[in-house]
Amino acid sequence: MDHRDSRSFSAMSGKQAAMQISRRSLVTTAGKLGLLAAVFPTALSRVQMSAAQTPGGEITIMRALDALSLHPGVNAGLSDIATNFLVYDALVIKDFEGNVQPALAESWETSEDGTVWTFHLRQDITFHSGEPFTSAHVVDHFTRWLEMPTASKLATLDSFEAPDDYTVVFTLKGPNLVFLNNISQTEWAYASIPNMNKVAELGDDYGVVEVDGTGPYILEEWVKDDHMTLIRNENYRLGTPVYENAGPAFPERVTFQVVPEAATRTNLMETGDADMNIDTAPRDVERVSSLPGMTVDSFSRISSNNIGFNFQKPLFQDKNVRQAINKALRRDEITQFIMMGQADPAEGYLHPEVQGALPREETAPYLAYDPDAAKQLLADSGWAMGDGDLLHKDGNPLSFTTYVSTEEAEQICQVVQAQLKEIGVDMQVRRLDSAAFSEATQAGEHDARFTPMIYTTADHMYFYETKAIPSPNNLFYSNPAFDELFAKSQSTVDQAEQLQIFGEMEKFVLEEAIVVPIQHVRWIFTRDERVQGMRYHNIHGVYKMMDTYVEG
């Protein structure tokens, strides 16, 4: 993107988002890596830093929600994950083209049958505390990860061991296509490696009061629901070919400021009190893009915003009710009036760019607006119009409450609320802060919940697997047939078969109306043009920020 004009707006596709958003050219990365490739080099030649890329400066980044815990794998919160990319590293990481690159592991190889993976670790890495990084820390984290809510990512893993301080051997239950992806840091940073001794010392307080990683930034201060300050790790020299800069990072300090209200975030950008807004409201795009010295970057984000039902509630054990709600919505009104065109109406569950997504002509009928069909489904289940223009059954109104955690989600659900009222359904909306939302939905207090559902691949549908209850499966959905499909998707070595299974899973989600798909959103970032070198990831946004610098 050309920054010669101080007022610019970029609209990029997911593929274009992988390109450098700066004045500098890209370094050529390694060739594409097959899942069963043998040995991977640690570093590539580097492009010499320009004069502008001198270390120094601070960046204040605003986000709508705070993190809950910085213990990798403990939860699937997006703010937690975004922070963990900066605080930790993992064995491997994907570059902006989706190729697996070395990180804490400098090389790896697999057995001929694809069931044994041996990783050779870097011997020059230390944690922020100064303690050396060894294979024992990897084994400890994977042992703990198996007991975490996100353990489905390790479903194919049989055993692992550390034969020496710098070697880790993983044995799989069988060859599969997902293992290397699932243990990459790109897969939600769950595989990020913390200091096992600090984890043991702090127990459940690890990730809340203190952390110790190997990443480019060190946690300096965390005032819950206000701000989190990270300072540069001066000893960081990981040198992964994902970025031009081998380390340390350029900015001295990165502060995440928690600002729940969209208008306040925009005002702070306008007054110069913040440098980036990674939760820019669609309605503010035109306003901020006209400000001198300000840039708005917008590009496709792999997402499936949805309202999910709590299957513990008798109301939502009736498939007719779930299907009726899906048919009662005019999704284009949400994308037009709330998202201001910065989203696409859902015509299926999976994002159409995700491998395995069914053709839209197959999925669109499940979500097509059809109020007459919705009313008939409800009538078939015994609901009839009663007092207050609401449907009633056995003397009770068809009423439920949807929990949300952000202002934007609240606005989206208010439109849904109005549309459902047209067919006699009363949906109330309750907004909670992120911590309260997580606690309430895991406890099953909600009738329904709204989630942005951002993901990397179709196998994120483990969110609906029985083993994922109550987190991330806060729908408490359990179906052996779906569990079997997911298990097959993780064990097959035939990519065509895996993609077919993903399609079957999407059809399952739509036919059973497990959730109400709403839209596929776009990333919308606002930044002061002093912040340069931003290279956006189409799933994770700011990612590890190793090439980012502050001009002036």
Answer yes or no: do 100 and 224 share one domain.
Answer: yes
CATH of residue 376's domain is 3.10.105.10
Q: What are the C-alpha distances in Å from 156 to residues 169, 235, 493?
A: 14, 35, 12
Answer yes or no: do 121 and 269 share one domain.
Answer: yes
Q: What is the mean pLDDT of residues 351-356?
A: 93
Q: Which residues contact 139 (CB under 8 A, 6 or more apart)?
A: 160, 161, 162, 168
- In this prediction, residue 50 carries a pLDDT of 52
Q: Percentage helix, strand, coil, to 5, in the chain?
A: 30, 25, 45
Q: Which of 154-163, 294-303, 330-339 is predicted with the least confidence, judged by mean pLDDT?
A: 294-303
Answer yes or no: do 132 and 211 share one domain.
Answer: yes
Answer yes or no: do 539 and 515 share one domain.
Answer: no
Answer yes or no: do 408 and 534 share one domain.
Answer: no
Residue at 104 is within a domain: yes
Residue at 447 is within a domain: yes
Residue at 396 is within a domain: yes
Q: Which residues contact 510 (CB under 8 A, 6 or more apart)?
A: 348, 349, 363, 366, 367, 517
How many helices (DSSP H) and strands (DSSP E) are in the chain? 14, 24
Answer yes or no: do 449 and 316 share one domain.
Answer: yes
CA 286 from centroid of its chain's CA atoms: 26
CATH of residue 246's domain is 3.40.190.10
Residue at 433 is within a domain: yes
- In this prediction, residue 98 carries a pLDDT of 87
Given a cut of 60, whether residue 17 has pLDDT beyond it is no
Residue at 285 is within a domain: no
Q: What is the mean pLDDT of residues 50-78?
A: 89
Residue at 170 is within a domain: yes
- Residues 281-294 pLDDT 10s: 999 999 999 999 99
- In this prediction, residue 52 carries a pLDDT of 62
Answer yes or no: do 248 and 361 share one domain.
Answer: no
Answer yes or no: do 94 and 189 share one domain.
Answer: yes
Give CA angle at 473 (307, 323), nearest 5°.
40
Residue at 295 is within a domain: no
Q: What is the mean pLDDT of residues 87-104?
A: 95
Q: Which helix (H) or strand (E) holds 270?
A: helix 262-271
Given a cut of 70, whether residue 552 has pLDDT beyond it is yes
Number of domains in the chain: 2
- Residues 109-127 pLDDT 10s: 999 999 999 999 999 999 9
Residue at 46 is within a domain: no
Kindly indicate the confidence band of residue 31, based on its pLDDT and cuts at 50, 70 and 90: very low
In our burial notation (b when 16+ CB lie closer than 10 A, e otherwise), range 369-393 reads: beeeebbebbeebebeeeeeebbbb
- Residues 436-454 pLDDT 10s: 999 999 999 999 999 999 9
Quote the mean pLDDT of the chain. 90
Q: What is the mean pLDDT of residues 414-438?
A: 97
Residue 320, token pair as written in the block: 């007719």
Structural domain harbouring 71: 7-30+55-275+530-550
- In this prediction, residue 303 carries a pLDDT of 92
- Three state DSSP letters for 489-523: HHHCCCHHHHHHHHHHHHHHHHHCCCEEEEEEEEE
Q: What is the mean pLDDT of residues 244-271?
A: 96
Kindly indicate the confidence band of residue 48, based on its pLDDT and cuts at 50, 70 and 90: very low
Answer yes or no: do 150 and 13 share one domain.
Answer: yes
